[in-house]
Amino acid sequence: MFKLIKKEKKRRVGKLYTMHGSVSTPFFLPIATKGAVKNLTPEELREAGAEIILGNTYHLWLRPGHELISKAGGLQKFSGWNGPILTDSGGYQVFSLAGKRGNQGVKLTERGVEFCDPTDGKKYFMAPEKSIEIQLALGSDIVMVLDECPPYPCTKEYARKSLERTTRWAERCLKYFKKRTQSEKFKMQNDNAKFKNNRPLLFGIIQGSVYKDLRQESARQLLELDFDGYAIGGVAVGEPREKIKKVLEWVLPLLPEEKPRYLMGLGRPEEIAFAAKSGIDMFDCVIPTRNARHGSLFVRKGIRRLAEGGKRQFYQAINITNKKFKNDFGPVDGHCDCYTCRNFSRAYLRHLFSVGEPLAGRLATLHNLKFYLDLMGCLKK
C-alpha cells in the first residue's frame, strides 16, 4: 500500500498505491472542492503534473449529493478525473462554513454534529459513520476520519477533550469502514489487482492543538487503532507558523516509517519544502489556486533554487494586477514551461484581470499549480 523508496536524512520518497493507481510521494493535492479544480479540466491537471486531487465531502454531500455521484459511478467518473482522489471528512467545513453565522446552526454532541446548510436552511446530521458512508459513496481512494478541529487559540482543557473525542470518533469510523470494505461485495466491485489495492485507505487525524503532550497522546491513541496513514490536523488555523515546526518535531518521530504522513491544509511553498524535508509525504492547500484567482502568482528566483528544494529563498509572489506590469511583455515566469508562460505575457494577464475576463483566473491557476507541482517534483528527487 505504501512503499518507501528512498530516505535522505528525514526526507522520504515513496509510492502510495490506491484503487485508482499509484502516486509518487511526496505529493501535493490540488483542491477540487465541488468536484472540479476551479477553472481547470482534468486534462490540464494531468498536464501540470497532478497525480491525485482532493474532493470536499461537505460540499459534495450538500450539492449534488453523494447518492447522485455514486449513481454516476463515483467522483472519478462524474468529474472526468480518472486518477486517485482523497476526500476530507467534512468536519472542518461543518464548523468553518455552516457555523459562520455565529455557530447558531451547529450543535456538537458525542453522537456527531448537527448543522444547517447556510444556502437553504436544510438540516443535516454528520456522524463519524455518516462521513465514511459519504466518502465511500463518492468512490474515494483515501478516506479521512471525522475529527474535531479546535480553533486557535484554545485552552489545554478544551484541546484535551477535543482530541479524546476525535479518538473515539476515529474508532467509530474505523469500525464502520472495516465493516463496509471487508465485505466480499465491496471487494468484488473494486478488484483492481494491477494497482495492488482493492479497497480505499483510511487515515487517522492527529489533533492536540499546540500542546506537546496532547499531540503525542493523540498520535499514540491513533497508532493503537492502526490506520493506513496518519494526518496531522489542526494546523494552519491561525497559530504562529513557528508552532507548525514544533508540532512536526513532536509528532513525526512517533509515526511508523512504513505508513504515509499527511500534513493537512498547508501551506506556502517554503513551508511545504520544510515539511517534506521533515518527513511529510502528502500536502493540500488552497494557496496556489485561490491566490491565482486574485492575481497573485509565484515566480521562481532562478531555476536552480527551486531544484535545491528550498534551501534558499526560491520564489517571489507578484501581483499581476499591479500597474508596473502594464508594459511587461515577458512571461509571468521565464523559468516556467506551463501553457500560460509559454503563450502569454504579464501585460496580457494584467489586462485580462483588469477587465474581468474569465480566462484570467484560468491562466493564473494553471501557472500557480504548475509551480507547486514542479516544487513537489524537486522534493521527490
Which residues of this protein are in contact with a copy of itself, per CB under 8 A? 34-36, 38-43, 59, 63-64, 68, 71-72, 78-80, 326-327, 329, 339, 343-345, 347-348, 350-352, 354-355, 357-359, 361-363
Which grid cell sits at 74?
A: 463515483
- Least CB distance to a copy of itself at residue 27 (A): 23
Burial of 191 (0-12, 13-18, 19+ CB in 10 A): exposed
Burial of 256 (0-12, 13-18, 19+ CB in 10 A): exposed
Q: Whole-angstrom Cα distance, residue 364 to residue 353?
A: 10
Q: Which is nearer to a copy of itself, 88 or 228 (CB)?
A: 88
- Least CB distance to a copy of itself at residue 62 (A): 9
Side chain identity at 248, as an amino acid letter? L
Exactly one of 141, 228, 281, 284 is catalytic; name it: 284
Specify whether 337 is catalytic.
no
Contact 27, 283 (CB under 8 A): yes
Q: Whole-angstrom Cα distance, residue 361 to residue 300?
A: 20
- Least CB distance to a copy of itself at residue 352 (A): 6
Specify whether 88 is catalytic.
yes
Axis crossing angle, helix 241-251 with helix 212-225, rounded to the nearest 10: 50
Phi and psi dihedrals of 367, rounded to 5? -65, -50
Contact 82, 42 (CB under 8 A): yes
- Residues in Cβ contact with 7 at an 8 Å cutoff, skipping those fewer than 6 apart: 13
- Least CB distance to a copy of itself at residue 80 (A): 5
- Least CB distance to a copy of itself at residue 5 (A): 33
Catalytic sites, residue numbers: 88, 284
